[in-house]
Homo-oligomer: A and B are copies of this chain.
Amino acid sequence: MTYAVILAGGWGERLWPMSTRARPKQLLSLTGESTLVGSTLARMATIVSLPDTLVMTSEALKERMVEELASVPAHRVIGEPEGKNTAPAIALAAKLLVADDPDAIMVVLPADHVIADDDGFRAAINLAVGAAETKRALVTLGIRPTRPDTEYGYIRAGSACDLEGVFEVESFEEKPDLERAEGFIEAGGYFWNSGMFIWRADVFLAEVTRCLPDVAAALSGVSCGPGDTGFDDELVRFYESVEAISVDYGIMEKADGVLVVPADFGWDDIGAWPAVARIWPGDDDGNTVRGDALVMDSSDCVAYSESGTVAVLGMSGVIVVRTAEATLVVPKDRARDVRRIVAALRTRDGK
């Protein structure tokens, strides 16, 4: 059977102050009425049994996720006692799934991405599930790039596989500088690394044993299932003992025979403020204005207020965001550095 595994542990710090630790990005409604995590789950309704979904989130957000994702039983929302990046979380999910279903196929989805074309998404997932099943390979979705974005990692596709629409992965390329990104676009055959993965749980666990033996060892201490007495203690021990490492670095770049399904379904990870400007409609001067915001003699700005008035005059290419707690002002081309503000405030406030 196919299962959804939703990664909902982060909070989207580069979208501060709209997203905060207490109100993480996946619980925001950026494009419509439902939250990003709610949409992520709903999108899978025709592919998996929603009650069998596993949601990997932080201990702090667990209750909120249980509330938000009513179709997932509370015990299948796993609250990580500490964040250890994606590899340990996915490995744990794989172990939990395979315990109940040795043939489990898992579709690993970040909780906080936007997808415009749900049908296109499901077609790609179904293709990937087929490939994961028949090829017993790790499969990733590669997004056809629409611009030389330097905020994404790229997947270089190699030979076509004998399944139509599926390719071998030649290499994973880290976030490039602009020149390299433009080269990728020009060359073709490069896709954005979406962070969406599809594989048999047992195949993935074999790669964990090979590539991340410490994680595999820690996993051997997990014998209960979610909801069992003793599971919480095992969870604490597991997260205490593993190193933080991403599935990209820890597994994907080392694994053999990884496959990619190139896809094009209006995906955006809304990693930082310029992405918000892409998904929210702008005016004739390229300004994205939301909430009680006034923009004069300005172009290419984001002016967003959710509390009080924002007034921007004579600015170009600047992001201005006001919430009840804070105001952010940063040029679009420095938007990735919002994480430095978050870090500085955390240090300053001793949190």
Contact = CB atoms under 8 A, between A and B. Distances in A.
A337 interface: yes
Nearest to A337: B313
A326 B291 CA distance: 12
Contacts of A312: 329-330
A314 B331 contact: yes
- Which size class do A's interface residues fall under? 20 to 34
A13 to B, nearest CB: 12
A90 interface: no
A325 interface: yes
**Tally of this chain's copies:** 2
A346 to B, nearest CB: 11
Contact of A309 (B297, B313, B327): B327
A109 to B, nearest CB: 31
A294 B330 contact: no
B334 A327 contact: no
A334 B311 CA distance: 13
A64 to B, nearest CB: 23
B308 A329 contact: no
A172 to B, nearest CB: 30
Contacts of A322: 322, 327
A327 B310 CA distance: 5
Contacts of A308: 323-327
Interface string A219-248: 000000000000000000000000000000
B329 A341 contact: no
A55 B145 CA distance: 67
Q: Chain B CB within 10 Å — which of A315, A327, A344 has the most?
A: A327
Interface string A320-350: 1011111111110010011011001100100
B314 A345 contact: no
A318 interface: yes
Given A313-B337, A341-B311, A348-B294, A327 B330 contact: no
A326 B308 CA distance: 5
Nearest to A334: B314
Contacts of A326: 308-311
Nearest to A310: B327
Interface string A2-22: 000000000000000100000
A332 to B, nearest CB: 10
26 contacts: A17-B309, A17-B311, A294-B344, A296-B340, A296-B341, A296-B344, A297-B337, A308-B326, A308-B327, A309-B327, A311-B326, A311-B327, A311-B328, A311-B329, A312-B329, A312-B330, A313-B337, A313-B338, A314-B331, A314-B334, A314-B337, A315-B318, A320-B327, A320-B329, A322-B322, A327-B327
Closest 8 CB pairs of A and B: A314-B334, A309-B326, A311-B341, A313-B330, A327-B327, A322-B327, A312-B329, A310-B327
